[in-house]
């Protein structure tokens, strides 16, 4: 690989270690993810979610014709959460997720909506149990194409310090 190519990759994808993840650090992914009916139906059925609001158009048209649904299939909330987290893993790509807290869905998502997400480091501390690692809490917010808040959550991740490896 040429030196120029390596430099471009490093600029696009810097590695964030515990020392880099200070409270207040924010990352907003400029790339969004448009959700399709196929994404929603496959994910819902793959996870054995039996709520017909996610995959049965006739059911939704009959039972959810009013606002904000208007007879449209609702994107599975866990899929929305997964996309939002995926869009923000750039800031936590070296970490191991320990948990997700305080998940709030503010607006439903429908096929054709594009999800954008941002992450903000809200807490960071040394790990008490694993020397060489830190525990970081990241607040994730997801927005639709109209910049309306659709989801918020907090992720807790364990991140290595520079030079440390899991043993």
Whole-model pTM: value is 0.87
C-beta pairs of 79-82 under 8 Å, 24+ apart in sequence: 79/35, 79/39, 79/40, 79/43, 79/44, 80/35, 80/105, 80/109, 80/115, 80/142, 80/150, 80/151, 81/151, 81/153, 82/43
Domains by residue range for the chain, with CATH: 3-160 (3.10.129.10)
pLDDT in tens, 50-93: 999 999 999 999 999 999 999 999 999 999 999 999 999 888 88
């Amino acid at each position: 690989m040429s030196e120029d190519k390596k430099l471009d990759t490093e600029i696009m994808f810097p590695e964030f270690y515990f020392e880099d993840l200070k409270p207040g650090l924010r990352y907003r992914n400029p790339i969004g993810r448009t959700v399709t009916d196929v994404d929603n139906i496959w994910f819902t059925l793959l996870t054995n979610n039996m709520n017909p609001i996610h995959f049965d158009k006739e059911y939704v048209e009959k039972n959810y014709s009013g606002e904000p649904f208007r007879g449209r299939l609702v994107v599975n909330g866990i899929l929305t959460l997964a996309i939002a987290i995926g869009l923000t893993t750039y800031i936590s790509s070296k970490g191991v997720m320990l948990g997700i807290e305080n998940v709030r869905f503010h607006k439903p998502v429908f096929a054709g909506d594009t999800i954008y997400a941002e992450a903000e480091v809200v807490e960071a501390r040394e790990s008490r149990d694993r020397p060489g690692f830190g525990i970081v809490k990241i607040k994730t917010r997801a927005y639709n194409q109209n910049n309306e808040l659709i989801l918020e959550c907090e992720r807790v991740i364990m991140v290595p310090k520079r030079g440390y490896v899991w043993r």
